[in-house]
Chains A and B, each alone.
Chain A
């Protein structure tokens, strides 16, 4: 990538000041998104993916706070230092968000046409009539049959897949440079999932939008993303082009995620799982944050927090195996299972 990235995130830290302590939900995340690229952001629930997405648009509510020293640059300007008014003009206009739950992300008391039309009315100052035409146009674009009629319907009259199309129409109404899609297909049936992903991919090619695709589903990543970032415990643990990640995953956490993917034609009595769960964000483990769930962990992992090692030009991994690869030959039950047995 020789050209400047569209979005550049450096050392993003978003902490929540709760009664249980400081939850370091996002703790020093850095990555770039190029123009027209689809970047996948994967990880289990509670690893900080969504908070990262929301932090980009500064949609973090108290007690959450984006710490000073964090940088989020869109086309060279730092979003985190903007006043409320300019950041509002970016939301839904240059950068927009697609939500996970199509059932609850639409206002029940307005028609869907009205809700799509609201976006150009806010950002382009369109008249009611112009905005309505734009809404119908967007409904056509996202493949809703009979759009002029459908625009007059209320959210409860539409199916989940239709509502997700409406949300996509709202997100794309201003033709933004970046769309943050937070688990856009998780709440949908598999067949509808495929349709929605196809639509997103198709619209991206036509409009040249960049997509930050947040998901826990590696299948979705394989289908959509060109590059993948794996997050664990508020940190980036691995970054690689999608093929490299699936072929030669380096971080044991990524390995675990890939092994946990059920595959057709592979008969197994039990699904493989990563033992244990993501630790609470108020108390990330010392050393490597994954060490208690890792089948390769040794004393260094308990003591020393690993940096992001370069595996090759476009592949990084936050694992000491990068410097001591011979350790991979000797897997052992991870600490959490040993503790559970004791």
Chain B
């Protein structure tokens, strides 16, 4: 127990050390900075976005250090009779579930699953979506037509149905496969945004100018078009993480995502769903974790939108 306390103290220290540069009052905007630095300064001038970013960073640090911070093993069932469904207490901060497992520890471990799936699946879908959209928008013509009609066809299948069908067929899924599935079904929106931005950017004078100076197509795309379409992609990605976390918890709640006994926020809620009235703590706290995390991501996304918006 004492080890856990020390670990928490250290973690708070680490979070503070990482977060202080963000929370400290914003530096005045200087003209002598690149557009990315200016955007960062604008972001820091926004109090709620700043705090939300600190929260997000804190969540990731806590999730990463979960093995040191959790007071109990997440899947341990110390006494399935005497300790089943106990309310919050000194030894079990957020109570225990029906199998006598410590809810707090399971939420900490569940954070690792939910947060990493959120981040990695979005990274995957943003990468694929940006590449696809950039190629469609930059090449244009018939290529663009075929690529976009393909997306229309894929978009006509509801994502959740597709995921349910695939996961049901697959049976037991590893987290890697889950990330792959969620990532590969989530890039259509991003690719549409990127395509539209690339097309708009391609007629801008500095892009025509780059071509007139003899830059190759690839160079024009990578150096002159893409850096200028990144802003909406970054915003969409940040907001997308919140969505993916909800999607993953939804799937796990349905028993299709992360497989028991591994903890995920969705599966913990499911464990408590039949006794919500009597043993409310089992479902409530993972629910709060989801709400806080998604709100933090959305606030960061809104802050980024405001900071990156004015060119």
Which residue of A is nearest B225, CB measured?
A: A107
Q: Which of A92, A105, A109 contacts B34 (CB 8 A)?
A: A109
Stretch at the interface among A93-101, A247-255, A285-293: A93-101
Which residue of A is nearest B34, CB measured?
A: A154
Q: How many A-B residue pairs have CB under 8 A?
A: 81
- What A residues does B34 contact at CB under 8 A? 109, 111, 154
In this complex, the interface size class of chain B, counting residues with CB under 8 Å from chain A, is 20 to 34
Smallest beta-carbon distance A116→chain B, Å: 10
A256-284: CB near B (< 8 Å → 1, else 0) gives 00000000000000000000000000000
- Assess whether A108 is in contact with B228, with CB atoms less than 8 Å apart: yes
- Assess whether B214 is in contact with A107, with CB atoms less than 8 Å apart: no
Q: Which of B32, B35, B214, B224 contacts A92 (CB 8 A)?
A: B214
B5 touches A (CB below 8 Å): no
Which residue of A is nearest B141, CB measured?
A: A62
- Assess whether B204 is in contact with A104, with CB atoms less than 8 Å apart: yes
* Contact A123-B214, Cβ < 8 Å, known A108-B35, A108-B311: yes
- Assess whether A93 is in contact with B36, with CB atoms less than 8 Å apart: no
CA distance in complex: A156, B36 (Å): 13
Smallest beta-carbon distance B36→chain A, Å: 7
Mostly, the A contact residues are loop
Within 8 A of A (CB), among B190-222: 204-206, 208-216, 219
* Contact A122-B206, Cβ < 8 Å, known A62-B141, A108-B35: no
Which residue of A is nearest B202, CB measured?
A: A61
- Assess whether B206 is in contact with A104, with CB atoms less than 8 Å apart: yes
- Assess whether B213 is in contact with A106, with CB atoms less than 8 Å apart: no
For chain A, the count of residues having a C-beta within 8 Å of the partner chain is 33
A41 touches B (CB below 8 Å): no
Smallest beta-carbon distance B35→chain A, Å: 5
Can you add 7 more A-B contacts, CB < 8 Å, to A59-B212, A92-B213? A92-B215, A100-B205, A107-B228, A118-B210, A118-B213, A122-B214, A154-B35
Within 8 A of A (CB), among B124-183: 140-141
A88 touches B (CB below 8 Å): yes
* Interface, chain B (partner A; CB < 8 A): 31-36, 140-141, 204-206, 208-216, 219, 223-224, 227-228, 311
A159 touches B (CB below 8 Å): no
Which residue of A is nearest B230, CB measured?
A: A109
- What A residues does B210 contact at CB under 8 A? 107, 118
CA distance in complex: A154, B227 (Å): 15
* Contact A122-B205, Cβ < 8 Å, known A108-B228, A109-B227: no
Smallest beta-carbon distance A243→chain B, Å: 32
Contact sample, A vs B, 6 pairs, CB 8 Å cutoff: A88-B216, A91-B211, A91-B212, A97-B213, A154-B34, A171-B213
Q: Which of B36, B140, B206 contacts A107 (CB 8 A)?
A: B206
* Interface, chain A (partner B; CB < 8 A): 57, 59, 62, 88-93, 96-97, 99-101, 104-111, 118-119, 122-123, 153-154, 156-157, 167, 170-171
CA distance in complex: A167, B210 (Å): 11
Smallest beta-carbon distance A176→chain B, Å: 10
Which residue of B is nearest A153, CB measured?
A: B32
Smallest beta-carbon distance B109→chain A, Å: 41
- What B residues does A154 contact at CB under 8 A? 33-35
- Assess whether A91 is in contact with B228, with CB atoms less than 8 Å apart: no
CA distance in complex: A170, B35 (Å): 21
- Assess whether B211 is in contact with A105, with CB atoms less than 8 Å apart: no
CA distance in complex: A92, B140 (Å): 25
